[in-house]
């Protein structure tokens, strides 16, 4: 049997793509074709079939009967004829790494949102031919046969290889004999030379940690978009990644470093989640949700490594790394939902919680990126302690890579505990029961001090008081975006969605906030004495007044620094954590 896909970009300005799949030698009477409902790496149902139109099937000029079986599946009566060609159009106007986008300037293709698969034949080798406007080039990690023809060992590899088609710039570099390409689309105003240097030092740092680069070629697709809805969003693949950045975010020095950590995150995924995979994600079904308890490890530990990579690549200082860890601990301890959701539960419910958050989420859920990152940091300190400074989380990652790349198997929680036992020499079942499966408070202070790191509460600036409200600025208005359980605002009855108009009888303004307007989340801080403040809010068009207590410090924020004590053992364990 031979399966050949065709992708035509004939009228890009209409956002429509022409797609077809031709099957030669299909052995059955009925052919079932399915458009995935989600894309791996982004655990939410998108129902890509909703963008399809004009589906039809033919064989040698004869129209074949076809009908829809469910929202994502079509049935074709083949009469065992060959070849069978199924044609359709896809509306592609979502400019995100998890979807597809075509317009007059380019086409970005995420395979799961464009190509249907043959039920029961996902394992078959497939070919893809691309027809593009004159002057456009193609960047993809797919194996190239000729200029515009590509091959993938199976459907899963086809859709795990995003394709950038257009007049984008390409930059390239080599690390350890492997080719790397950067496809740069949009309005990137920064220095290409610096970007190239920084990305290659990330790749080198990862290679030092993991021992080797398990690919021949790797592709970074970067979209720099003006007025993008969020500062950045990325998606990982086995041989590539696609990341959208807000152009302005790349220009600012501090946020550029955040962008580098996003690139590191997506890059490190090529090991953690693409090759070291929870069993459930090995050959996931595309029709519906695939549940796993492992995202705290696959996403959270990857996020920990995002920060480790830029540290070891020399792109941030040790103190910048420690500041980032401290800010994550602050965010975690500011999340009341940590008491009601474990890391495993958080992973399992990503479909209905992380990707479908509401104003109440902060009080009922803990993000698996956040808790997973901190569990990564804690796991590393535990391994370093148990092995008396000879091993760290890096050894665990190498151990798992070695095991799972050999046979393509996924790992279970039992396997993870076994790998931890091999590396650290101790059984971590109880640790898992408390911090991964359980909701026990994580004793960051004592765990970190064991490797010579001091975690301390940051005092609020002089005379400043806080109500514990979280605000967001929208169209010149200050809106309450969430009210954290246990804070005085929560107790006073302020609701998410309320518009804060006055504090202490004075129109609320930016000066009353403690963080710059650039931040999307603001914490209001008030100068001066008094135990209470009167807040006026609009709710459903009515003005309402609340008296809110001003506790000294409802939000605990933390600082992390290296201990100055002259303890050789602790110093060498800290060096193991930070430098590997």
Q: Which is nearer to Zn ion, 299 or 382 (CB)?
A: 299
Residue 577 belongs to what H/E stretch? helix 568-579
Give yes or no for a contact between 134 and 76, defined as CB atoms under 8 angstroms apart. Answer: no
Give yes or no for a contact between 341 and 365, defined as CB atoms under 8 angstroms apart. Answer: yes
For residue 221, the minimal CB distance to Zn ion (Å) is 15
Residues of 410-419 as b/e, b for ≥16 C-beta within 10 angstroms?
bbebebbbeb
Q: What is the DSSP string of 298-347?
A: IIIIHHHHHHHHHHHTTSS-HHHHHHHHHHHHHHHHT-GGGGT--HHHHH
Q: Which is nearer to Zn ion, 249 or 369 (CB)?
A: 369
Give yes or no for a contact between 335 and 370, defined as CB atoms under 8 angstroms apart. Answer: yes
Per rule CB under 5 A, count of chain residues that contact Zn ion: 1
For residue 166, the minimal CB distance to Zn ion (Å) is 25
**Which positions from 367 through 426 interact with Zn ion, judged by CB under 5 A?**
none
Q: Is 12 helix (H, G, I), strand (E, B) or coil?
A: helix
Q: How far apart are CA 498 and CA 553, in angstroms?
A: 22
For residue 288, the minimal CB distance to Zn ion (Å) is 21
For residue 296, the minimal CB distance to Zn ion (Å) is 12
Residue 267 belongs to what H/E stretch? helix 253-268
Give yes or no for a contact between 286 and 38, defined as CB atoms under 8 angstroms apart. Answer: yes
Residue 464: burial class (beta carbons within 10 Å; 0-12, 13-18, 19+): middle
Q: How far apart are CA 300 and CA 4, in angstroms?
A: 38
Q: Which is nearer to Zn ion, 89 or 299 (CB)?
A: 299
For residue 340, the minimal CB distance to Zn ion (Å) is 24
For residue 94, the minimal CB distance to Zn ion (Å) is 19
Chain residue at closest Cβ approach to Zn ion: 299
Give yes or no for a contact between 376 and 403, defined as CB atoms under 8 angstroms apart. Answer: no
Tokens of 404: 């799972």
Q: How far apart are CA 359 and CA 364, in angstroms?
A: 10
For residue 269, the minimal CB distance to Zn ion (Å) is 6
Phi/psi at 146 (nearest 5 deg)? -135, -170
Tokens of 231: 């500062």
Q: Which is nearer to Zn ion, 98 or 424 (CB)?
A: 98
Q: Please state the separation of Cα 323 from the chain's center in Å.
A: 21
Place of tokens 């896809």: 90
Contact string 299-318 vs Zn ion (x = CB under 5 A): x-------------------
Q: At what angle do helices 253-268 and 192-210 cross, to 10 degrees?
A: 40
Q: How far apart are CA 124 and CA 153, in angstroms?
A: 7
**Which positions from 270 through 299 interact with Zn ion, judged by CB under 5 A?**
299
Give yes or no for a contact between 114 and 19, defined as CB atoms under 8 angstroms apart. Answer: yes
For residue 353, the minimal CB distance to Zn ion (Å) is 16
Tokens of 170: 């390409």
Q: Which is nearer to Zn ion, 195 or 295 (CB)?
A: 295
For residue 302, the minimal CB distance to Zn ion (Å) is 5
For residue 268, the minimal CB distance to Zn ion (Å) is 9
For residue 145, the minimal CB distance to Zn ion (Å) is 31
DSSP 566: -
Distances (CA, A) of 230 to 98, 244, 371: 14, 9, 22
Q: Which is nearer to Zn ion, 164 or 299 (CB)?
A: 299
Q: Where are the alpha helices (DSSP H) in 408-450?
A: 413-424, 429-435, 444-449
Q: Which is nearer to Zn ion, 12 or 40 (CB)?
A: 40
Q: Which is nearer to Zn ion, 299 or 395 (CB)?
A: 299
Q: Which is nearer to Zn ion, 400 or 471 (CB)?
A: 400
Q: Which is nearer to Zn ion, 269 or 484 (CB)?
A: 269
Q: Which is nearer to Zn ion, 299 or 328 (CB)?
A: 299
- The binding site for Zn ion (CB under 5 A) comprises 299
């Amino acid at each position: 049997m031979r399966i050949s896909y065709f992708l035509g970009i004939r009228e890009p300005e209409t956002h429509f793509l022409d797609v077809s799949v031709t099957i030669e030698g299909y052995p059955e009477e009925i052919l079932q074709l399915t458009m995935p409902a989600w894309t791996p790496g982004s655990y939410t149902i998108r129902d890509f079939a909703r963008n399809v139109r004009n589906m039809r099937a033919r064989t040698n000029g004869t129209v074949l009967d076809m009908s829809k079986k469910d929202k994502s599946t079509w049935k074709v009566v083949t009469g065992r004829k060959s070849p069978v060609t199924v044609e359709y159009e896809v509306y592609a106007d979502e400019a995100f790494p998890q979807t597809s986008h075509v317009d007059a300037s380019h086409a970005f293709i995420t395979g799961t949102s464009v190509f249907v698969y043959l039920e029961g034949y996902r394992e078959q080798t497939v070919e893809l031919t691309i027809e593009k406007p004159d002057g456009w080039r193609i960047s993809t990690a797919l194996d190239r046969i000729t200029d515009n023809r590509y091959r993938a060992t199976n459907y899963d590899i086809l859709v795990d290889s995003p394709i950038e088609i257009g007049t984008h710039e390409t930059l390239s570099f080599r690390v350890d004999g492997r080719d790397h390409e950067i496809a740069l689309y949009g309005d990137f105003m920064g220095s290409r030379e610096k970007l190239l240097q920084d990305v290659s030092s990330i790749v080198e740092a990862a290679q030092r940690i993991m021992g080797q680069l398990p690919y021949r070629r790797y592709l970074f697709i970067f979209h720099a978009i003006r007025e993008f809805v969020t500062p950045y969003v990325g998606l990982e693949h086995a041989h590539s990644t696609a990341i959208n950045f807000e152009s302005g975010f790349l220009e600012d020095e501090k946020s550029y470093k955040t962008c580098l950590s996003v690139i590191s995150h997506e890059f490190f995924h090529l090991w953690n989640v693409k090759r070291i995979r929870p069993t459930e994600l090995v050959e996931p079904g595309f029709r519906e949700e695939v549940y796993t308890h492992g995202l705290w490890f696959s996403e959270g530990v990857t996020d920990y490594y995002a920060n480790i990579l830029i540290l070891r690549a020399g792109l941030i200082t040790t103190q910048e790394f420690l500041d980032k860890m401290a800010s994550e601990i602050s965010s975690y301890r500011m999340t009341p939902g940590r008491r009601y959701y474990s890391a495993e539960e958080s992973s399992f419910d990503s479909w209905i919680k992380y990707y479908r958050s509401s104003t109440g989420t902060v009080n009922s859920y803990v993000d698996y990126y956040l808790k997973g990152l901190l569990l990564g940091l804690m796991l590393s300190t535990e391994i370093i302690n148990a092995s008396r400074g000879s091993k760290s989380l890096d050894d665990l990652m190498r151990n798992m890579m070695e095991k799972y790349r050999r046979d393509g198997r996924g790992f279970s929680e039992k396997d993870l505990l076994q790998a931890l036992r091999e590396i650290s020499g101790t059984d971590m079942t109880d640790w898992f029961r408390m911090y991964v499966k359980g909701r026990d408070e994580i004793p960051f202070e004592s765990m970190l001090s064991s490797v010579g790191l001091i975690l301390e509460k940051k005092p609020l600036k002089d005379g400043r008081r806080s109500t514990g409200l979280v605000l967001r600025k929208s169209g010149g208005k200050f809106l309450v975006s969430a009210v954290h359980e246990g804070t005085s605002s929560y107790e006073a009855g302020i609701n998410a969605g309320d518009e804060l108009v006055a504090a202490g009888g004075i129109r609320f303004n930016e000066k009353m906030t403690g963080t710059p307007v650039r931040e999307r989340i603001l914490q209001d801080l008030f100068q001066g004495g008094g135990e209470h403040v009167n807040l006026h809010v609009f709710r459903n068009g009515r003005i309402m007044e609340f008296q809110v207590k001003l506790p000294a410090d409802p939000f605990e924020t933390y600082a992390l620094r290296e201990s100055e004590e002259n303890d050789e053992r602790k110093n060498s364990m800290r060096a193991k954590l930070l430098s590997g």
